[in-house]
Structure formats: structure tokens, C-alpha cells
Structure 1
Amino acid sequence: MITRIHIHGYRIYKDFNLLPNPKMNILVGGNDAGKSTLMEAVSLALNGRIGGRSVLEELNPHWFNTELVKDFLAERADGKKPALPEILIELYLRDDDELQVLCGAVNTAVPTNACPGVFLRIYPNEEYQDMLDDWLKTPNALLPVEYYTCEWRSFADRELTKRPRVLSVATIDSRTVKSSAGVDYHLRQILSDHLESTEKAEISLGFRTVKASMTDGALATVNTRFSTLGASLLAEPMALAMDQTSRTSWENVITPHVDNVPFSMAGQGQQAAIKISLAMKRHSAKVKIVMIEEPENHLSHTSLTTLLDRVEKLASDDQQLFVSTHSTYVLNRLGLNALHLLNRNHASKITALDPGTVRYFQRLPGYDTLRLVLAKKVVLVEGPSDEIIFERVFHDVHGLTPMAASVDVISMRGLALARCLELCAAVDKPVAVMRDNDGIEPADLRVPVEKWLDSKKRELFIGEVSDGRTLEPQLITANGEGHLRDVLGITPKADLVTWMTREKTEGALLIAESPKGLTAPSYMKEAAEFIQNA
């Protein structure tokens, strides 16, 4: 449905573009990467409202990108006259027949792109030009949003007053319940989409009748007494009656129940699951775009598994999904090929990941793929003992821990090296991989993964066969048996290689914590130097 998202000047996004997948989109990123802001911007452009309220009611100076505001103030200080900062959110849509009413070329695409779409623009209101000129004499970072206005239009340059029916959207935020009644604006939208017009009219008429019956029933006695008070100016009778205005429409007072319990009192995990199910029901073709924020919140592992099963089962070609998550399990289950890695004003998209690799990680939902994806730099090792020893080597070489240098040391835990390297290449991740030679020449071990290696960003480091098959004999060769026995406290009677192989983690901890010097195996030292400079 949405083929391109362009955001200019809104919150974290100075000038941002995203090309979504037609079906599933998984948004991941560190804290403040812009996942929630992206969904909020899409909802703004689709609904012309935020949380059920108009844009101008909610508009505040903090909506504007701080970098753009800073640049504006700097130019004003230099005596220039730059235009006041604006916000623009554009949604480019697929060229479907039902969307032709929105088709036009009123957008910022270069070259010109005539297609269906909508945009929301927030800009200075010319009617307040005198006030704006007065503010510009002493401008500051808090823009005068009172003098701004908003337009919501289609690419055909037609004003939108309500969301086009063909652009229905459901937003499910499992992080919090947004209203004291426990039924937020988005849920009311979803429920409304499941009711036919005739059903809505019948409910409205019935509710109006109930309110009228209150006037003739419980309020009748009170009104009889009020009529004798003579409180009005000209002695007209005063009475109480149920409010029949839209403020008390049935949508605002009728609330769903779950197993005879009000929706607001159900667990938040249950609430999220209900919202997702209602939004994604196959017969609910009215909902074209579904946005789910952090579905893992408030759910046990079993409940999350059930919920993801439901998402996968209900997903159809008629709906486009956007799912933000901090969960590796969610990422692995829904598919790495749908990943968008957000980093403030930039988005990386996996486009060349082999379907077999996607299935591989889906079968291993417990592996911490998200940690690998989000790390700035990665060192992949075969197991915990390699991880512990490498951190000591890195500190000896650079004088600080890997984490302090933004290097994440991650154990592959038996995963296929080629799959890990393919994923790192897909997200353009700097990575150093260390592995045992297992008695095979390093040159031969490089061949199966050669296409994923890059001498500047991704490299494989393997100890020489002559120095030993695994980490333990490599350490003995580099340091000498006597020195390692001293470090580990191993008597001459015990076989050093056998002890170190049997007590891998314990031996690695003793070596890492020892005040005695350690001579690193050459391949480990080379890996430490490579990743620091990558």
C-alpha cells in the first residue's frame, strides 16, 4: 500500500526516506532511533489527527526537528533571512484503481512522480505575518506555533477533511493504555470498522431511546420537584434531561468486555492481542495498514508465541504491517527479510538476504540476532571461553574493554558461520570472526565464506594449524606451558591441554583475571586490531 515515506522536519527526522515492503515491515533500532516517531508520522498523514485530536490542538515547538531549528537560528544570527522551519510528511501509495482519487504530482519527488498519495504540512500562517515578524526580531528555539497552520491534502491537491475510506489504518500500541477508560482512540476506530452502517445507526437509535427513557423514568420525580423551585429568570420550569448531543454518543460510553470483564481491566497483554486480532481479521478488508508497537510488551514467552502465530496466520496480501520491536524473538519469527534498521535519520533495509538464511534464523528464534544487528561493531567467536579470552586480549592491545570501544563480542553458539556473515554483510556490519582451525588449513576454511568477507569491514581470523587445533593449544604455544600452569595453578602431574579443554570457561576466567602477562595468539591480536580500525 505505502511505497515510500518521506518525513521532513518532524521530531528526530530532519530529512528521512523509507521504502517499505509491501507486506511485512519490522522496525528495529536502539533507543531514540525513531521507531515510534515513524509510526506516529505515518498515522498523522493517514488520519490528519493524532490520538483523536486535531494537529493544531496538539502542535508544540518540540515537534520540529532540533537540528533544523538550530540551523535556522544560526542563519538569522548571521544576518540572513531563512524561511521558518516547517514539517512535511508525505506518503506515496501504490497505483491501485481504488486510490486514483488521490493520484497527482503535488509532492516533492524528483523527478516528478505522479502517483496516489497524501501529505500533511505544518507551516507559518500568513494571516499572522505581523506577529511572526515581531517574533523574528528576537527568535529562539521555541517556535511560535500559535502562528502556524496545517494543511492535509492528496497528491491531487485536494483538501482532506477526514481520512479516505481506502486508507483505513489500525494502530496497536501495547506499551500503554492511552485512556483512563482503557479504550483508546485507535481501538474505537478498529471496532467501528467492524460494524456495518446499519448496525451503527441501530445502536445509535437504541442508545438515544434509552437516554430519553431516563428523562421519563428516573428523572421524572426530580423534575417535578425542580419545577416548583422558581429558579429561572422568568419562572420557566427547569428540568434535568439526558444529554443528546454527540459528546455523549454511544461510541464514547459503550465499552467492550472480555469474559464479562471490562476491557480496561483486562491484562495489557490481552488488550494488545485483542486489538491485533480485530485489526488483522481477514474479513476486515477495510483495514489496509496495521501498525503494531512492541508486541512483546506485557506478554510471557508462551503468550508472545501465540500472538505471533496469530499475526502470521492473519497476515494477508491485502494488508501492510509495520511492527516495531526490541525483541530478537519477534525479529527472528516474523522474518529478517522484513527488517528495517533505523538509526535516527537513516534506514537500512535488508534486500539480498537468502531465503534459506531467513528460514535458518526463524528456526532459531532464541538466538540474539537483534544484538548482532544493533551492535556498532561485532566480534563473532565460537563459545564463551573465546569471548572471555578475547576481551582480555582486546584490553591488553587497546587499553580499554571492547564495549567501551563500541565493540560487541558475541558467541555464535554453534551457528553456521556463513549464515552469520551473510547477515552481517546484509546490514553492512563491521565484523571480525575468530574460529578454530580444527586441523584444517585456514586458507581452505576461508573458501566457503569468501564472498562475505571484505578486508576493510569483514574478516576471518584463524590460528595456524602448527600452533594447535583449538584455542587451548594456541594459548599454550603463545605463552609456554610453564607460564600457563603458573597462571592456572595446574600441577605438573596434570595434563595441561586436557585440563584446559575440560575446564574451558573456568580456565578462561582465570587467565582473563590474572595479573600475570598474557601473550595473545597472533590471530586474536590481529582480530583486535582489525575491528578497532574497521
Structure 2
Amino acid sequence: MYISRIVREFLDDKERVAISQAHRRLKDAFKADYNVGAINERLAEATKISRKEVSISVDMSSHNAWENSLMTYIDDVPFHYIGKGEQCIVKTRLALSSKKNREATILLIEEPENHLSHSKLNQLISDISTDNSGKQVIITTHSSFVANKLGLDHLILLREAKVTRIKDLNASDFFHKLPGYNTLRLVLSQKSILVEGDADELVVQRAYMDANAGRLPIDDGIDVISVGLSFLRFLELATALKIPVVVATDNDGDLAALEKKYAKYKDVDHIKICYDPVVDRGDLVLGDKPFNYNTLEPKLVKSNSVETFNKLFGKTFDLDGLHRYMKNNKTDCALAVFSGQARIQYPEYILDAIAI
């Protein structure tokens, strides 16, 4: 349907007549084929559905039957056999290139990310961005990638009667350049807990489950989001939209720097910054650097015991060996905590974070 419509737009009357004649010659050749004749003879002998002669041929009744007989090929593969993602891209590009859409001043596009891989989605978004200048493009999407990539300077966020334009935030350029960041995930969440990495996310999720009869945070409308070191970017967005947010972060042995970093959000009632207020020190050295006793893993060991984690990991480490192992295997250790049968104790700042 898409291809025939586009073909009709490009062909003049003379070309359409020529194609129609070529199509009729193909039909005539089919009907005259010896094998088709043999089949029709068999049908005439075998069928009892009519007193008249029964035979097979191809549709000759329509002057434009060739349009209904078109089969589109992509790299010699029939269109209906190619992937759904490629089909979506082809259909969207053809729809946007039609004469009617070229003349339109407003385009409505619903969820362009459906069925697309990351690279294919990037291609499609690039086409939408570059081929529709001068038009108002309105897109519905569940994808932060789409929202970020299409230009956050034009994105209007609505939440509980509050309206914010991303372009008014200092973080707008950051989200645009790094489209993988979970802009919409934060905006659409009821409440969020921001953590630094995958290990933190797993431990916070398990701590919440232990405190809430096995329910995950998301079951209660709380999204635990790993944001790397970009807490302040997300807090700016959360402040503008009044999104309840908790930050669960390491103190890294420098409480003064941490307090300075989050001073702006100290008195914001819907934002809570959680970290251990105690700076721990020890004698362990890794390479030529002192071991940092003020990240999640050593704080977990401090709240439990060496024996607890040796049993959980199936190891026989002493204290220093356990610190080395957990530092070098953060995600594996966090996964063992998350999926383990036995419950462990959590640092106070983690418990404070999950009491959102």
C-alpha cells in the first residue's frame, strides 16, 4: 500500500499505462503457460461446483490491478519477511515523505521507538530531526533516548499541574549530549532513589525488599535509578518538577566536600541526601594508594562481619582479603547480596534512603 501510493505520486499517465500493459502481458503469459493449461484441464474434469467450466487465472478485471500485485523487496528480501524494526523505519520514512505530509505544518508521531534496536532508533530519530525543519513535530514516547535526542530545549514536562521547560535547566545540554540518561524515567516516577552504580542499585533494592515483606521498590512506585556521578543533574530536574527523590551516596572520606556539594538541596523538602556521617580509616593499601573504607562495600562489612560475607560468597577471607575481593568484584558481590537466602544488616544511611 505504501509503495504503490508513492509510485503513483511519481509516475505520470504515460508511465502508468506502460506498467499496466506490461502487467497484462505477464497475466497473458501466465494464462497461456502449458502447466496452467494442464491444471485447468484437471480442474474441469474434477470440480463439481458449477455446470460451467472452472479454471484458474489471475485477476484481469481491474485496470490498475498491477498496483495490488506489487511486492516490495528490501535487499532482495520480501518486505513482510524483514524485521519489524526495519519495517517500522521504512513505513515511517515513506509516510513522512508523502506529498500530503510534505505539505503539512504539524506532524504527529506515536512511539517511534517500537521494535527498533538502539542503532536503528538513532537513524530514525536523526531522519525525523533533519527532514522536518519548519514543522511542528509532536511525538509520544516511552523512551528517554527519543526525548533527549530530539531536542530537550523544546521538551515541556508536565507533572501535577507543574510545567517546566528543560531548556530552562542548566542540565539541558548534558541530557541532550548523553541521550542514554533516564530523563523520562525520573520524570514519570512517583518517587526515586538515585544511586551511583549497579552494585548500589542491587543492595538498595534488597534492603527495601527485606524491610517491606519482599516487595521491590518499583512495586510501591519507587524507582531506583543508577546515575553514575551525575546526581546534581537529576536533582535539578527533580527540584523543578517537585519529584520526591532520595540520593544514597558514599561519603568517600570527605564530609565537608559532600555537604558543600549538596548544600543547595539541604532545605528542599522533597529531596533527601543520605550518606554515612562517619569517616572510617584503616591500614590496608592497594597498590600505592590507601584503601577507601568509605564506600558501600566496606560499610556493609562494618555493619555485619567477615564471617557473614564469607558464608554468603563461599570464601574464607580475612578482613583485608574480603575488602580486596569486594572492591574488585562489586557487581558480583552485590548480586550475591540481592539473591542470597540469608538477610544481612545494612548501614544506617541505606536504611534511611529506603524510608522514602
Matches within 5 A, 1:136-215: 182-183=1-2, 203=13
The 1:279/1:448 distance shift into structure 2, 3 A limit, reads farther
The 1:353/1:448 distance shift into structure 2, 3 A limit, reads farther
Question: Among 481, 487, 492, which residue is 2:318 paired with?
Answer: 492
1:121 corresponds to which residue? none
SS at match of 2:123: helix
Question: Among 110, 119, 122, which residue is 1:293 paired with?
Answer: 110
The answer to whether the 8 Å contact 1:479/1:519 transfers is yes
Question: Among 256, 266, 270, which residue is 1:457 paired with?
Answer: 270
Alpha-carbon distance in structure 1 between the residues aligned to 2:266 and 2:97: 44
Alignment pair present for 1:328 and 2:147: no
Question: Among 123, 127, 131, which residue is 1:306 paired with?
Answer: 123
Normalised by the length of structure 1, the TM-score is: 0.46
The answer to whether the 8 Å contact 1:394/1:401 transfers is yes
Normalised by the length of structure 2, the TM-score is: 0.66
The 1:375/1:408 distance shift into structure 2, 3 A limit, reads same
SS at match of 2:301: helix
Q: CA deviation at 1:319?
A: 0.5
Alpha-carbon distance in structure 1 between the residues aligned to 2:249 and 2:235: 13
What amino acid sits opposite 1:518 in the alignment?
I
What amino acid sits opposite 2:89 in the alignment?
A
Gaps of 5+ in 2: 29-59, 281-292
Matches within 5 A, 1:19-30: none
Q: CA deviation at 1:191?
A: 8.6
The 1:311/1:453 distance shift into structure 2, 3 A limit, reads farther
Deviation string for 1:135-182 (max 9, x for gaps)? xxxxxxxxxxxxxxxxxxxxxxxxxxxxxxxxxxxxxxxxxxxxxxx4
The 1:421/1:389 distance shift into structure 2, 3 A limit, reads same
Alpha-carbon distance in structure 2 between the residues aligned to 1:479 and 1:348: 44
SS at match of 1:410: strand
Moved more, 329-338 or 383-392: 329-338
Gaps of 5+ in 1: 1-181, 219-240
Alpha-carbon distance in structure 1 between the residues aligned to 2:74 and 2:343: 66
Matches within 5 A, 1:85-484: 182-183=1-2, 203=13, 265=80, 267=82, 269-277=85-93, 286-316=103-133, 318-339=134-155, 349-354=163-168, 357-399=171-213, 400-412=215-227, 414-441=228-255, 444-451=257-264, 455-467=268-280, 468-481=293-306, 484=309
Alpha-carbon distance in structure 1 between the residues aligned to 2:196 and 2:130: 36
Identity %: 32
What amino acid sits opposite 2:322 in the alignment?
L
The answer to whether the 8 Å contact 1:438/1:470 transfers is yes
SS at match of 2:224: strand
The answer to whether the 8 Å contact 2:106/2:137 transfers is yes
SS at match of 1:469: coil
The 1:276/1:288 distance shift into structure 2, 3 A limit, reads farther
Q: CA deviation at 1:433?
A: 0.9
The answer to whether the 8 Å contact 1:378/1:410 transfers is yes
The 1:335/1:426 distance shift into structure 2, 3 A limit, reads farther
What amino acid sits opposite 1:497 in the alignment?
H
Q: Hey, which of these two has a bigger chunk of strand by percent?
A: 1
Q: Hey, which of these two has a bigger chunk of helix by percent?
A: 2
What is the RMSD computed on CA atoms of the aligned residues? 4.3
Alpha-carbon distance in structure 2 between the residues aligned to 1:356 and 1:466: 32
Structure with bigger RCO (C-alpha 8 Å, 6+ apart):
1
The answer to whether the 8 Å contact 1:256/1:262 transfers is no
Deviation string for 1:98-123 (max 9, x for gaps)? xxxxxxxxxxxxxxxxxxxxxxxxxx
The 1:298/1:526 distance shift into structure 2, 3 A limit, reads closer
What amino acid sits opposite 1:394 in the alignment?
Y
The 1:481/1:280 distance shift into structure 2, 3 A limit, reads same
Q: CA deviation at 1:509?
A: 3.6
Deviation string for 1:286-315 (max 9, x for gaps)? 211111222223433333222222112123
The 1:486/1:464 distance shift into structure 2, 3 A limit, reads farther
The answer to whether the 8 Å contact 1:474/1:521 transfers is yes
